Chain A
Amino acid sequence: MKPTIKEHKLTRILRAGDPAAHTGPMLPAEAAHMRARVRAVSRADAPRSWKPWALAAVATAALVVIAAPYGSFPAGTRTTAVPAAGPGIEVPVATNRREIHFIAPNGTRIIWSLRKDDDRPWKADDPEVRS
């Protein structure tokens, strides 16, 4: 049978052999040296503080770079009040759906979605279409 130790005795043995009890605390000189080293590293590795204007400039530049490949809207030609065929109409081709975008002079955007498989003329009173 293995010998065992009771709960309170185990605690007593552990405390009697506690390394911290016999070695003592960190010496002031050791602590000062360590503190100075930590401080030096903290200063060296401190993140650069970003000024708000610099952040805004970087964000704008990034936005321009990202938006550039998508092209720009031709001025004047797109802002027709009447939604009719013309140079202001942009018809992106999709596989089974087409969208026509109009931009009114006040900035309102109108988007028509046309499906290839639905060529019937729309009727306001057509219950099938409305549903």
Chain B
Amino acid sequence: METTIAFDKPIADEKDELSAQERLEQLFDAHHQRLFRLALRLTGQREVALDLVQEAFLRAARRPGSIPTSDAGATAWMVRVLVNLVRDRWRRQKRRGRAKSVPAATPSPRATSSATEAQVVVAQALAALSPRRRAIVVLAELDGESSRQIAALLGLRPATVRWHLSAARQQLRELLAPAAASDHQDGAKP
């Protein structure tokens, strides 16, 4: 009879030793675009988004031991680091009294003026939300993640996510209502 013994831990250790750096590079390749999109949606500024994504990966580089070994865990860890960075930045700005002065994302030359207008309105409305609530609403409305997925990504309970999402939608409805009403009027004109 042949007995097979699985040595999970040593293999994992060997993998860790072999490629803490390689793993970080894989993590970068797999997630940098997604994190950049998220950062852009959370801050509305391209340069700031680039800085935040870089800082998130630098944190991962400085503490490779704290990155979970599973892919899903690593993704969630990176998203959480990024959201925390956004929150830290928001707090610093709030202390300086300019948390709400968020300009819209730098539009590409192809972007039309109406798109730029919409960006400004949305960026200002999102900037009025707290970073956590903003992250939840962005992940739900723009990334299309479910409450359960957002809960796993941000390390929250699904009920907490649903509560924040409901409150954020209500807040955004009120903030975006004037813009929506003027759009409607413009559209109604012959």
Contacts and interface: CB of A to CB of B under 8 A. Distances in A.
Interface residues of B, number: 52
B21 A23 contact: no
Interface stretch (A42-50, A61-69, A85-93, A103-111): A42-50
Chain B binding surface SS class: helix
Contacts of B89: none
B108 interface: yes
A39 B82 CA distance: 18
Nearest to A30: B50
A10 B173 contact: yes
- Of residues A10, A13, A19, A45, which shows the largest number of chain B Cβ atoms within 10 Å of its Cβ? A19
B33 A22 contact: no
B62 interface: yes
A9 interface: yes
Interface residues of A, number: 35
A5 interface: yes
Interface of A: 2-5, 7, 9-11, 13-20, 22-26, 30-31, 34-35, 37-39, 41-43, 45-47, 49
Given A19-B40, A39-B25, 20 more contacts: A5-B173, A10-B169, A13-B176, A17-B115, A17-B118, A19-B119, A20-B142, A22-B108, A22-B116, A23-B105, A23-B107, A24-B108, A25-B37, A26-B36, A31-B33, A34-B50, A35-B28, A37-B54, A38-B60, A45-B62
